[in-house]
Amino acid sequence: MVEVAFFAGAIGALGGAIAVVGLRNPFYSVLALIIHLTALAGLFLLLYAQFVTAAQVVIYAGGVMVLYVFVAAYVGGVEEPAWEPIPGQRILAPLLAGALFIEISIAVLGSSLSGLGSEGPELPLGFGTPADIGQILLERFLIVFEAASILLLLAAVGAVVLAGRKPGDGETTGAVSAAGVMGFTPDRGETAPAESGEAG
């Protein structure tokens, strides 16, 4: 029974990941990632990580993916040209990914970790439940918890600053410029005239 659940989750996770890479339309890629994340949540449940499963479904498959769906619908498709700036990139990249897989597998399976017993020890009742995780998070990892909250706040403020800024009057339109994206150019729209008006 556990084997059936594992292979169902593994096929879902792997198929979702391959579909994300393979599908041409970014919107379909986002939907495939939702399948991938949900299958992965099932695998977490098989590993007795109940709280992580709930967080995965609620935060990732529920919250973060909604952001992705909105941005994918807003931005639309991106045409990917067939020409290759690096010769042989389409062949070399899968080869490199395969080499990476073999290397990580050798590192994981060839280590002496298997001496611990591959099935894992008998777990106490309540392992991985929200009560257990909450107790560890707020006692041993309190500083990590607070740092994570500061990080989330900074990310939210940064996203508003990045995306909420009005683009200037065509100063970078059509030009390929990352500095213009970051808003480093001094004349960027209405803010500068408004400030000078107040000063005058």
| The two three-digit tokens of residue 192, written as one number | 């500068």
Rounded Cα–Cα distance for residues 198 and 50 (Å): 56
Q: How far is the CB of 143 from another protein (least distance, A)?
A: 11
Is residue 90 a contact residue for another protein (CB under 8 A)?
A: yes
Is residue 21 a contact residue for another protein (CB under 8 A)?
A: yes
Q: How far is the CB of 91 from another protein (least distance, A)?
A: 10
DSSP calls for 82-121: S--SSTTHHHHHHHHHHHHHHHHHHHHHSSGGGGG-TT-P
Rounded Cα–Cα distance for residues 108 and 26 (Å): 33
CB 20 within 8 A of CB 33: yes
Which is it for the CA torsion 67, 69, 72, 73, positive or negative? negative
Q: Which is nearer to another protein, 101 or 193 (CB)?
A: 101
Is residue 8 a contact residue for another protein (CB under 8 A)?
A: no
Q: Which is nearer to another protein, 11 or 198 (CB)?
A: 11
Q: How far is the CB of 15 from another protein (least distance, A)?
A: 10
Is residue 189 a contact residue for another protein (CB under 8 A)?
A: no
- Interface of this chain with another protein, residues 115 to 154, rule: CB under 8 A: 116-124, 127-128, 132-133, 136-137, 140-141, 144, 148, 151-152, 154
Q: Which is nearer to another protein, 163 or 199 (CB)?
A: 163
- Interface of this chain with another protein, residues 169 to 188, rule: CB under 8 A: 172-181, 183, 185
CB 29 within 8 A of CB 20: yes
